[in-house]
Amino acid sequence: MQAWNKLSRMPAPAIKKMQDELFTKMLREELAVRHPYYREVFKEHDINPDLIKGLEDIKHLPFTEKEDLLPRKNDLRHPKKFVLEVPSEGEQKGKKKGFALFGKKDKGPDPSDYKFHTLYFSAGRTGKPVPFEYTHYDLRNLKEAGLRAFDILGLTRDDTMINAFTYAPNAFFWQMFYSTIETGSTALQTGGGKVLGMEKILKAMDNMEAPVFVCAPGYTIFALQTLDHFGFSAENLERIVLGIDYAPMEAVEKTRKMMEAVGAKDTKVQRLYFIAEAKSGWAECDPDYGYHTNPDHIYVEIVDPESGAVLGEGEKGEVVITHLDTRGTVLLRCKTGDIAAGGLVTEPCPNCKRTVPRIMGDIERKAYYYELHSNEGPVQFNANQLRKMMTARDDVLLWYAEINRDRGLDNLNLVVKGTSGTDEDTLLKSLAEVLQKEFSVPANVESASLDAVVNKIGLEKYITAQLIFDNRDL
């Protein structure tokens, strides 16, 4: 990866040129040579990497789907096909002199860059967890991505923070961990609700007088709502960084409101966006200015989720990533299943003036788009919308929704636990009305105990809470 102070101010054409060079180098010197999966794909599709002149030609290359990455029934080691083979020592000496990238002398591949370090898994929110192999080279990149994210967020060594991301073999937790280590800030790595539990996390925030709290959006809102119950103070709290799970603007607003309600010193809320496939996360300088990507690490395309056509600047579509500078697991045109409402923009950020490409708008998950059967035929149900709507409400503490099928017809069952002081009957009635208006299938709303909802959604069990359960036997 490049020097960040230079890269983050580099004009768009220079970024494009750098990405072209990194891409063709990756394609010709890595994927075509030592990537078992793409080597096969190129052969199958009769693709000659030498004829791909730059990113202009990327549209001629096939997509990689999430399913392509999963272990096969008869081949559990299938994900290993996405891992670069370690070059032999001889390759280094015998290699023809490569072109000089950014004026640096190209000495050929260093085998130690390719040696396996660790596995991080996708969060498995919507399917089976996928393993991604990191080498020490990738670990250095992860640390660099973490430092850059802190730079964008404006976090320094003076910021004491509580890291409440869930401890797991997952790059999101570890990026945050390494960011605090590399920055040298005072930080408590709580491991999240799964490890330390809510009471101890809140107690630590109070005792350490930590101004910064880093957490998944759902757990953050729940934490602020239960602060009073445990009798802790948030008077030193100034800033919350939301991450791991995607945080729509409704979650940002709600978090701000809750911070104010609990008497926080300031109510700054910022977001991080993690894609397991990108092997790192990106930060936003302030909400709604877009996630500032690392163009020397990942090339981002926004495509039509159905046709796969590459979309223009600022158009809503699916986020597709291509690795430009990774070892271990390497992906080419991988469809992430995430929809960026505001697409990708390459003009400088009007807020912080950094010039790196930004992924704009709220992220929606494609897996949250459901087709339901009603007695008037198929209807679309966007559970991302339901999630936003439920997040925005002040009278809902926790919730989940089930999709059920009865005699060929689908219905929604919404289960809620209201905030303390909320009249349950009024809450259920108002939710039933909204559901009927917004979603065109029969819906039932019921209340449940706090424990029942906490257990069902796995609030302190999973990396992020699970909110939608499709019970249909499809």
Q: Kindly list the residues in this chain that would bind Zn ion in the complex (CB under 5 A).
A: 285, 289, 349, 351-352
Q: Minimum distance between the CB of residue 7 and Zn ion, rounded to whole angstroms? A: 14
Q: How far is the CB of 285 from Zn ion (least distance, A)?
A: 3
Decide whether 318 or 362 has the Cβ nearer to Zn ion.
362
Q: How far is the CB of 152 from Zn ion (least distance, A)?
A: 7
From the number of C-beta atoms within 10 Å of its C-beta (0-12, 13-18, 19+), residue 449 rates as exposed
Q: DSSP letters along 286-346, please?
A: STTS-EE--TTTEEEEEE-TTT-PBP-TT--EEEEEEESS--SB--SSEEEEEEETT-EE-
Our CB check for Zn ion shows the closer of 210 and 349 to be: 349
Looking at the Cβ atoms of 14 and 352, the one nearer to Zn ion is: 352
Q: Which two tokens stand for residue 202?
A: 């809140």
Whether 198 and 222 have beta carbons less than 8 Å apart is answered as yes
> Which CB atom, from 61 or from 356, has the smaller least distance to Zn ion?
356
CA-nearest of 304, 282, 305 to 293 is: 282
Nearest to Zn ion of 172, 289 (CB atom): 289
Total residues found in the chain within this entry: 474
Judged by beta carbon, residue 83 or residue 283, the one nearer Zn ion is 283
CB-based contact 82:329 (threshold 8 Å): yes
49 vs 287 by CB, closer to Zn ion: 287
Q: Report in angstroms how near the CB of residue 284 gets to Zn ion at its nearest.
A: 7
Q: Which is nearer to Zn ion, 152 or 435 (CB)?
A: 152
What distance in Å separates the CA atoms of residue 428 and residue 444, rounded to the nearest whole number?
Answer: 9
Question: Among candidates 248, 243, 198, which has minimal Cα distance to 223?
Answer: 198
Q: Which whole-number Å values give the CA distances from 183 to 131, 161, 349, 361, 454, in the listed order?
A: 28, 12, 24, 28, 35
- Please report how close the Cβ of residue 362 comes to Zn ion at its closest, in angstroms: 17
Residue 43: CB atoms within 10 A of its CB come to 10
The sign one gets for the Cα dihedral 389, 391, 393, 399 is positive
Taking the complex as a whole, how short is the minimal distance between the CB of residue 339 and Zn ion, in angstroms?
22
Residue from 391, 393, 402, 457 nearest 430 by CA: 393
